[in-house]
Chains A and B, each alone.
Chain A
Amino acid sequence: MIGCAIHITNVSKAFGTVKALDGISLEVNRGEIYGLLGPDGAGKTTLFRILTTLLLPDSGSATVCGFDTVREYTDIRRAAGYMPGRFSLYPDLSVEENLEFFASLFGVKVSDNFDMVAPIYNQLAPFKTRKAGKLSGGMKQKLALCCALIHRPEILFLDEPTTGVDAVSRSEFWDILTHIRQSGMPIFVSTPYMDEASRCDRISLINSGRILETGTLDEILHRNSMPLLAVKGENNYHTLLALRKVEGVKTAFLSGEYIHVFTEEAFEPATLSAIEGVREVKVIAPDIEDVFIKIMGNGNS
């Protein structure tokens, strides 16, 4: 059966004095899309590089498909499909040349494994003689995904595959991942976009090298459910500064055309309506982005 798992136990990694990863532990099961969500510089890429055997952890250990990332790195290199964070194909080679090269790198023929990539590659087929460097952002990512899949990997590592890609292409890309997951192949994917959490089976929130929360999206939202106020002012910037001075307000931040405000439990929303320039105050349910900012705020304090 295709698909294997990841076990990470207490992995730490520092670059000089900067702690990129600080005691990371998590498990990825067969056949699930596991999302690692966090801002730039959170340590996502470092974790991916440790799992794909490109970096050695300072302490702790990890296995991919049962292979140790340090001792059995050659086995992992055979089993894993990896798509690094930035576009890493050959811009001077055409679409089909790139795909053929990465197939032969793993000793397989494109025709033998074409079923793996067919749904994605068929979208690229009209451009197959075009140089990879001349593709649009979304197309580049699809080609990179094809190249990572063509050797029929047992597990897929995608480091920020949707960064720099437009909203439609992002959504298409996630549809493809959902389709791949049906084969049982686990997909470990990182993203800075919180809205992509809903496309993952389970997620971990990561910041400053630490895992803040782990679970399904609903579990995390449930655990962190607490009243959230959405405030709209005449001038949101001035209102934001004013809100932050109010007694009982824990965190206030801009979110779209509203200011989202987490408060002490006994806080009376009407207090906010009284502030000059505030037009509207309502109670809403926090989404993952709100939760993330709240947890991050707690972690910092």
Chain B
Amino acid sequence: MRNSFTAFIHKEILHIIRDPRTMLIALLIPVVQMVLFGFAISMEVNDVEVLAAAPEITPAVEAKVSQIAHNPYITFKGYIATEDVDRAIAANEAMAVVVFSRDYGRSGEAQVVVDASNPVTAQTSAGYLTQILNGTRSASAPGITILYNPQLKSAYNFVPGIMGLIFMLICAMLTSVSIVREKETGTMEILLVSPIRPVMIVIAKMIPYLMLSCIDLALILFISKYALALPLSGSLAALVVTSLVYIILALALGLFVSTIVDTQMAALLVSGMVFIIPVIMLSGMMFPIENMPLPLQWISNIVPARWYIPAMRKIMVEGLGFGYIYPELIVLSLMAIALIAVSVKRFKIRLQ
């Protein structure tokens, strides 16, 4: 006799396989995001267009300009007259202009004028130029050793963030929609008027999405290692355990949403607004939590990704293990247990 529970899981898997949109969200989006963030979109600033302005081109100036022109991140566009500096920036002819004083190289100084309409690029460009200009005379400058990500690659930062985002998307959004769909189409009525226990309905709904998430986890790790060349030097066990806890937490969130809304559209909106956006804004994925106003820092504590993403960074980038991530793991586990308890309790055994 086929068990009603396994029959339910089988049915759920058929729903997923037969819905191209679900398959698309579940399998294509992780790959696309990894590739986009890994290669195309990055916080690195490349091709900074730089002009130079000097009253006369002395050998000292020429030497410095040649250093600038050889920097891989900079595209040197030539010399302009000193009085043209403001106009050149305004006309978008360059991102930055290096202005040399008359007796540069002996006692004179150089000044960097930067277009800061985009502060991130401005800061980074100014940084590049300052480094080059100080280069030869930096006897007093501190020696900097960059650990974990010596080339400052964006991928190192983004991969854990994408993981936090994708599991939220697949687990919370897809599970909530799938449960609410049964309510909307009326099949939930028949399911309730059957001997299967409501808790079993819920668990059977979660298992296929759990399996899907595991496939995604493998996919992400594969791309990270072989396409983005992440070191992945930390404990694999810690990575998998933490991810599973986070996935279960996201599933519980999806279940929770399904207990408060009645239409698929509402489920989508709630999952999108309440779960996905905080992952991007408040998890430290894009913006450092330390720089947020205090109230936002407090709020960030209840965003699960705020605990998951740093833990993933420690494991994937810093190469650490359980010993360094247990605070995050404990917080995530407690959140998961609490949410499952609340959602199962809220899941209705009747229609009202």
**Contact A74 B2, beta carbon cutoff 8 Å:** no
Assembly CA distance A85 to B189 (angstroms): 10
Q: Which of A31-39, A89-97, A242-250 contacts B (4 or more CB under 8 A)?
A: A89-97
Assembly CA distance A69 to B185 (angstroms): 24
- The proximity string for B residues 1-25 relative to A, scoring 1 for CB distances below 8 Å and 0 otherwise, is 1111011101100110011000000
- The proximity string for A residues 233-252 relative to B, scoring 1 for CB distances below 8 Å and 0 otherwise, is 00000000000000000000
Which chain A positions have C-beta within 8 A of B240? none
A285 at the B interface (CB under 8 A): no
A87 at the B interface (CB under 8 A): yes
Assembly CA distance A104 to B192 (angstroms): 14
B187 at the A interface (CB under 8 A): yes
Contacts A54-B192, A107-B1 known; A100 to B15 CB distance under 8 Å?
no
**Contact A54 B351, beta carbon cutoff 8 Å:** yes
Q: Which listed residue, B14, B185, B189, B351, touches A82 by the CB 8 Å rule?
A: B189
Q: How many chain B residues touch the partner (CB < 8 A)?
A: 28
**Contact B189 A101, beta carbon cutoff 8 Å:** no
B227 at the A interface (CB under 8 A): no
Which chain B positions have C-beta within 8 A of A97? 11, 14
B140 at the A interface (CB under 8 A): no
Contacts A55-B351, A104-B2 known; A93 to B14 CB distance under 8 Å?
yes
A52 at the B interface (CB under 8 A): yes
Closest CB in chain B relative to A134 CB, distance in Å:
13
**Contact B11 A93, beta carbon cutoff 8 Å:** yes
Q: Which listed residue, A88, A89, A107, touches B4 by the CB 8 Å rule?
A: A107
Max chain B CB contacts within 10 Å: which of A53, A74, A88, A89? A88
Closest CB in chain A relative to B240 CB, distance in Å:
32
Assembly CA distance A87 to B3 (angstroms): 25
Which chain B positions have C-beta within 8 A of A102? 190, 194
Assembly CA distance A24 to B349 (angstroms): 24
Q: Which listed residue, A78, A82, A100, A108, touches B190 by the CB 8 Å rule?
A: A82
**Contact B14 A92, beta carbon cutoff 8 Å:** yes
Q: Which listed residue, A84, A90, A105, touches B189 by the CB 8 Å rule?
A: A84
User: Which chain A residue shows the least CB distance to B185?
Assistant: A88
A179 at the B interface (CB under 8 A): no
B241 at the A interface (CB under 8 A): no
User: Which chain B residue shows the least CB distance to A104?
Assistant: B7
A30 at the B interface (CB under 8 A): no
Which chain A positions have C-beta within 8 A of B2? 100, 104, 109
Assembly CA distance A85 to B15 (angstroms): 23
A77 at the B interface (CB under 8 A): yes
A49 at the B interface (CB under 8 A): yes
Total A-B residue pairs with C-beta atoms closer than 8 Å?
87
Closest CB in chain A relative to B343 CB, distance in Å:
20
User: Which chain A residue shows the least CB distance to B6?
Assistant: A104
Assembly CA distance A280 to B6 (angstroms): 68
**Contact A88 B192, beta carbon cutoff 8 Å:** no
Assembly CA distance A84 to B182 (angstroms): 13
Assembly CA distance A87 to B189 (angstroms): 11
Which chain B positions have C-beta within 8 A of A106? 4, 194-195
Assembly CA distance A49 to B190 (angstroms): 11
**Contact A49 B351, beta carbon cutoff 8 Å:** yes
Which chain B positions have C-beta within 8 A of A100? 2, 7
**Contact A53 B4, beta carbon cutoff 8 Å:** no
A56 at the B interface (CB under 8 A): yes
A6 at the B interface (CB under 8 A): no
B117 at the A interface (CB under 8 A): no
Q: Which listed residue, B1, B191, B349, B352, touches A105 by the CB 8 Å rule?
A: B191
- The proximity string for A residues 34-53 relative to B, scoring 1 for CB distances below 8 Å and 0 otherwise, is 00000000000000010011
Assembly CA distance A137 to B179 (angstroms): 25
Which chain B positions have C-beta within 8 A of A87? 186
A149 at the B interface (CB under 8 A): no
Closest CB in chain B relative to A280 CB, distance in Å:
47
Assembly CA distance A80 to B14 (angstroms): 27
Assembly CA distance A55 to B351 (angstroms): 6
**Contact B187 A77, beta carbon cutoff 8 Å:** no
Closest CB in chain A relative to B9 CB, distance in Å:
11
Which chain A positions have C-beta within 8 A of B3? 104, 107
- The proximity string for A residues 98-117 relative to B, scoring 1 for CB distances below 8 Å and 0 otherwise, is 00111011111100000000
Q: Which of A50-91 contact B (CB under 8 A)?
A: 52-56, 73-74, 76-78, 80, 82, 84-91
**Contact A90 B15, beta carbon cutoff 8 Å:** yes
Contacts A55-B351, A86-B186 known; A77 to B194 CB distance under 8 Å?
yes
Contacts A89-B187, A105-B4, A106-B4 known; A55 to B195 CB distance under 8 Å?
no
User: Which chain B residue shows the least CB distance to A112?
Assistant: B1
Chain B residues with CB under 8 Å of chain A are: 1-4, 6-8, 10-11, 14-15, 18-19, 185-187, 189-196, 349-352
Chain A residues with CB under 8 Å of chain B are: 49, 52-56, 73-74, 76-78, 80, 82, 84-93, 97, 100-102, 104-109, 147-148
11 contacting pairs across A/B (C-beta < 8 A): A52-B189, A52-B193, A53-B350, A54-B192, A54-B350, A88-B185, A102-B194, A104-B6, A105-B4, A107-B1, A109-B1
Closest 6 CB pairs of A and B: A104-B7, A88-B186, A82-B193, A104-B2, A54-B351, A84-B189
